[in-house]
Structure 1
Amino acid sequence: MVRIGFIGLGAMGSRMTIQLLEHGYEMVVYDPRPEAVESLVERGAVGTEDATDVARQADVVMLSLPGPDEVQMVVDEVEDGFDEGDVLIDLTTSKPTTTNAVADQLAEHGVHVLGAPVSGGPSGAEEGTLAVMVGGDHDVFERCEEIFDVIGGNVVYIDEEPGHGHAMKLTNNYLSFVAMICTSEAIVLGKQVGLEPETMLDVFNSGSARNTATSFKFPEYILPETYDMEYSMALVEKDMQLLMDVSNETKTPFMAGGTIRQLIGYVRGELGSDADYTEIYKYFDQVMGEAKD
């Protein structure tokens, strides 16, 4: 069994590492926060205070970082620690151009890169049911498929381009954001005319309006008023901006996307950067309720 290194032990990375540990993988882990490393050492991982040590000790290195800038920074730091034939799997929500640049950079060391962002949030990471979107060499993907099957309930191979996994993730996020915003508006509008949110969700989920907000986010986090999806508005705005960057880089008009980007930025400003993504509904409930008054 290969030895896996994991760099980035936040809400997603720590849970994916636990899944891999529970499936018998030997793990070496790094995070700039010592307490994050220690919590996984207690579960059987080998901790290190140097990210480069992860590349030195592991056959497959997985990254789960805040964004493309951090990915490039870490790769620049650890690239000399890899051995020829090693694999880097980037799980970060990143840009296709960054992924492809990293793949070219590490190819000079004989290192393979798979762009493999995930969707499903911390709960999906904890349960091992994430959607995983993988771009890169198909033979390398097959070598790592058992690893993906541990963290993911739906693993999709996209194609040979490493960055295409990340392109897929960004477009997936965009549709998820649209669903969350429009479902929030629809629910509040229905409440204004006297409909019950639970009834509306039952109808939506039995027909063509079903989406990830109606089937998951509202029942799990919004109706119970927990608002604890562990996905901050700052991250939502960051992810949406990455998609806008791709639009700019490819010179692709993205009209509705620009509107959604501005709306997310405005809501983030109103709710605060640390507000949970699901609190978008609270914003619309307040603003649309005030409009009625």
Structure 2
Amino acid sequence: MGSTRLVVLLAAALMLAAAAFPAARAQETDHEEEFSYIIGEENGPEHWGEIKPEWAHCGKGEMQSPIDLSHRRVTLVRDLGYLNHTYRAAEASIVNRGHDIMVRFDGNAGSVVINGTEYYLRQLHWHSPSEHTVDGRRYDMELHMVHESANKKAAVIGLLYEVGHSSDGFLRKMEPYLRMIADKKDREEKVGVIDPRGARGRASVYLRYMGSLTTPPCTEGVVWNIVKRVRTVSKHQLELLREAVHDVSLVIFFFPSTGPIRSVFPPFT
């Protein structure tokens, strides 16, 4: 039991306390027409920080996400414990934001406790391909579960996916709604009660680092928690998500980060 418990508790730590950073609102811009993921365009990632004064972090920030989760930067910490969550089924809506598909929880979907702070689940959304890479490898999809504390600080749990023979159970339940809002930018539909526990899964080992929102305003001070276990998504499900936002292959812009990564051993082997 001792060795098993050790493996479970090998989690990521913060070198700097979250309180040392400005409160990061768990709010990304919903106005896709104001920015683009395409490098070289006037409103592309390299120009995000110039579009609006309040987006300055996108160009000048020092703790920007996403990053490459390189094992050479990982430090083992043995005493952080679980990502203790108390998620629950809640009323939700699905929104086609043009650059991604978001499930927004209109009711109380529960929370996760990180370093003694309770962060409430506000929404989740998908990116394809993944925004974060692991030792330079980009995965087929990444799910972000976005949380916000009572003090408006943000924490995100990220899950990585690769295409395989089996489909993702949570996405399978969402497929009818994805078809409903496909090709309808800014379309929003009520989807009834959704249980986020199906999206989170049970994996316990994760990496943590301090970063930012990955779309404007690129606010820093976000506590990132990337789950170690890579999950499986079907090719059909991936195509459904991409087609819903007219995306053949999303171009992701990477920002440098000076933040430390603390995590499990062995990291992403």
Q: With structure 2 as the length reference, what TM-score do the two structures score?
A: 0.23
Q: With structure 1 as the length reference, what TM-score do the two structures score?
A: 0.22
More helix by share: 1
Q: In terms of Rg, which structure is larger? A: 1
Q: Which has the higher contact order (CA 8 A, sep 6+)?
A: 2
More strand by share: 2
